[in-house]
C-alpha cells in the first residue's frame, strides 16, 4: 500500500449508499400470520395438483395394460364356463375384443386383436349374440367366434305374421306367431342347462308392462293405451325381418328392444313423413299396410290399398274376412254369418273404419303400397282363378258378375 494513503480522509470522501424506494415497513403480527397461511395454502395446492397428475398417469398406465395387455397374462385352452357376448353394430375388432375381455373370455385385448389379423370371418362379424366360454386362449376365442354355429338369439319374422299362433281351419297345421318365434330364438344351452323365454311370458309382458317400458313410439301411444291390457295392442309394432334376441334378456326387455328397433326401421322408411303428407297418422298407415298384406297378392298391393282408402272415403265398411279371423287366431277361406256379426275391435263387417290395431306385421312392400296407393276409383275386388288373377271395379253389379266367375272357377275366398 502507498505511504501516502490516508485512510481517514479516504473514508470520509467516499459517498454513502442511498436507499432506493420507500423505507421498508415492518409487518404486523396479523399480517405475518396471513402471509404464512397463504404460503401454506399455495404449497398445499401445488402438492394436490402433483398428486392428481400422478394419479392420472397411473390410471393411464393401468388402462393401457388392461386394454392392450401390457403384461404377460394370457389364458390357454378352450375355456371354462359358457357365456353370451354381444357384438354391436359397427364394432371394430378392438371393440369386439374389449367386449370379450369385459366378459372374461380373453385375458387382454391385444392378444385377441393380434390373433384376429387376416381373419376375414372376424373382420366381417355380424352384430348379434355369441355363445363363448370364459378364460379362452386368444386363438381359441377367434376360432369360436368365427364359427357360425356360435351365434345365438337369431330371430327371423316373416311378413304377415301376427303375435299369436294361427291355426288353419280343417287342418292340423299351425303357423307360429311372433311370440313363439321370439321364444324359439331365445333358447340357449349354457353349461348343460337349456333355457328359453316362453311365449306365455312374452304375452304377459305385452299385457302388463307400461308403454314406456316397452318403448312404444309416440305415434302409437294413443291406440296402444286405448286397448288397455290386451296383448294385441302390440300387433304390428314388431316389424318383419331379421333381428337379434338377447337370450339372457327378460320378456319385457326383449319386446322393448324389438319395438324400438322396429320403430327406427319404420321411421327410416319414411312412415312419419308420408303420413303427414297423406293427412293420416303413421299408425293408420301401418294398419292399412297390414290389411293389404293379408288381403292381396304382391302384384295387387297398391290397388287393394286404393280400395281401402276409397271405401273409407265413401264412407263404406271395409268388410274384410281377414279382420273377422284375426282375433279368432285362425285362417279360414270363408267366414260364417255368426262370425261376421260378432262385434270386436277388429271386425270391419260389424264396425265402421279401420280395425283397432294392425292385424299382422306388414312387410315393406305392403307398407309402401299403403303409403303410395295406385290411382283408381275401385271399391271392390275379387280373385277369380287359381292363378291369382284379381278383378277390380267400382260398379257393384260388375262385382257380382266377377264373384260368379270366381264361383265357377272354384275360387271364393277373396270375394269382397
Round to whole Å and give the CA distance between 358 and 97. 42
At 198 the pLDDT is 98
Task: Look at residue 46 and tell me whether its pLDDT is greater than 50.
Answer: yes
Look at residue 60 and tell me whether its pLDDT is greater than 60: no
User: Over 60: is that where the pLDDT of 69 sits?
Assistant: no
> pLDDT grade, residue 45 (50/70/90)?
low
Mean pLDDT of all residues in the chain? 88
Does the structure show a pLDDT above 80 at 243? yes
Lowest mean pLDDT among 62-76, 219-233, 247-261, 295-309: 62-76
Q: Please count the other Cβ atoms lying within 10 Å of the Cβ belonging to residue 334.
A: 11
Note the pLDDT tens digit of each residue in 136-178: 999 999 999 999 999 999 999 999 999 999 988 777 889 999 9
Q: Which domains does the chain have, with CATH numbers?
A: 81-152 (3.30.1490.480), 156-265 (no CATH), 270-409 (no CATH)
Query: For residue 48, is pLDDT > 70?
Result: no
Q: What is the pLDDT of residue 415?
A: 46
Q: Which tops the pLDDT comparison, 330 or 383?
A: 383
**Tens digits of residue pLDDT in 96-121:** 999 999 999 999 999 999 999 989 99
pLDDT, position 113: 96
DSSP assignment letter at 197: -
pLDDT at 21 over 70: no
Report which of 152, 129, 149, 133 is spatially closest to residue 141, judged by C-alpha positions.
133
Backbone angles phi, psi at 164, to 5 degrees: -95, 160
Quote the CA–CA distance of 132 and 25 in Å, as a whole number: 79
Q: Tell me the CA distances in angstroms from 352 to 207, 326, 345, one per residue in order.
A: 26, 17, 10
Between residues 200 and 62, which one has the greater pLDDT? 200
* Nearest in space to 381 (alpha carbons), one of 301, 286, 271, 313: 301
- What is the helix (H) or strand (E) element at residue 205, kind and residue range? helix 199-208
- Could you tell me the strand order of the sheet in which 174-175 lies? 174-175, 166-168, 330-331
Q: State what percent of residues in the chain have pLDDT above 90.
A: 75
pLDDT of residue 6: 46
Burial label, 361 (beta-carbon count in 10 A; 0-12, 13-18, 19+): buried
What pLDDT, in 10s, does the model give residues 283-340? 999 999 999 999 999 999 999 999 999 999 999 999 999 999 999 877 776 788 899 9
Over 80: is that where the pLDDT of 4 sits? Answer: no
Quote the CA–CA distance of 108 and 115 in Å, as a whole number.
12
Report the chain's terminal Cα–Cα distance, integer Å.
139
**Residue linked to cell 320403430:** 263
Amino acid at each position: 500500500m502507498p505511504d501516502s494513503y490516508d485512510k481517514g480522509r479516504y473514508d470520509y470522501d467516499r459517498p454513502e449508499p442511498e436507499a432506493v424506494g420507500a423505507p421498508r415497513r415492518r409487518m404486523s403480527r396479523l399480517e405475518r400470520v396471513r402471509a404464512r397461511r397463504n404460503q401454506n395454502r399455495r404449497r398445499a395446492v401445488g402438492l394436490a395438483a402433483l398428486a392428481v397428475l400422478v394419479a392420472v398417469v397411473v390410471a393411464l398406465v393401468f388402462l393401457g395394460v388392461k386394454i392392450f395387455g401390457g403384461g404377460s397374462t394370457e389364458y390357454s385352452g378352450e375355456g371354462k364356463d359358457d357365456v353370451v357376448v354381444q357384438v354391436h353394430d359397427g364394432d371394430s375388432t378392438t371393440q369386439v375384443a374389449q367386449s370379450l375381455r369385459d366378459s372374461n373370455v380373453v385375458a387382454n385385448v391385444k392378444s385377441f386383436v393380434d390373433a384376429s389379423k387376416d381373419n376375414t370371418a372376424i373382420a366381417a362379424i355380424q352384430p348379434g349374440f355369441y355363445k363363448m366360454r370364459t378364460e379362452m386362449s386368444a386363438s381359441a376365442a377367434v376360432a369360436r367366434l368365427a364359427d357360425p354355429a356360435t351365434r345365438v338369439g337369431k330371430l327371423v319374422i316373416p311378413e304377415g305374421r301376427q303375435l299369436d299362433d294361427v291355426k288353419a281351419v280343417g287342418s292340423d297345421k299351425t303357423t307360429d306367431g311372433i311370440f313363439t318365434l321370439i321364444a324359439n330364438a331365445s333358447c340357449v344351452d349354457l353349461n348343460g342347462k337349456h333355457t328359453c323365454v316362453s311365449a306365455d311370458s312374452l304375452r304377459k309382458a305385452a299385457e302388463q308392462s307400461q308403454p314406456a317400458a316397452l318403448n312404444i313410439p309416440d305415434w302409437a301411444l294413443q291406440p296402444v293405451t286405448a286397448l288397455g291390457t290386451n296383448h294385441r295392442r302390440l300387433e304390428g309394432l314388431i316389424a318383419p325381418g331379421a333381428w337379434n334376441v338377447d337370450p339372457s334378456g327378460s320378456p319385457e326387455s326383449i319386446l322393448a328392444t324389438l319395438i324400438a328397433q322396429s320403430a327406427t326401421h319404420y321411421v327410416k322408411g319414411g312412415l312419419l313423413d308420408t303420413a303427414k303428407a297423406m293427412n293420416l297418422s303413421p299408425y293408420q298407415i301401418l294398419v292399412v299396410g297390414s290389411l293389404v298384406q293379408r288381403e292381396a297378392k304382391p302384384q295387387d298391393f297398391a290397388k287393394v290399398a286404393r280400395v281401402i282408402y276409397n271405401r273409407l272415403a265413401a264412407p263404406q265398411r271395409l268388410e274384410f274376412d281377414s279382420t273377422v279371423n284375426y282375433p279368432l287366431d285362425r285362417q279360414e277361406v270363408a267366414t260364417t254369418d255368426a262370425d261376421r256379426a260378432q262385434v270386436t275391435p277388429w271386425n270391419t263387417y260389424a264396425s265402421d273404419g279401420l280395425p283397432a290395431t294392425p292385424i299382422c306385421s306388414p312387410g315393406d312392400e305392403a307398407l309402401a303400397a299403403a303409403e303410395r296407393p295406385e290411382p283408381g276409383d275401385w271399391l271392390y275386388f275379387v280373385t277369380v282363378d287359381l292363378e291369382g288373377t284379381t278383378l277390380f271395379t267400382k260398379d257393384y253389379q260388375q262385382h257380382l258378375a266377377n264373384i260368379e266367375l270366381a264361383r265357377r272357377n272354384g275360387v271364393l275366398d277373396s270375394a269382397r
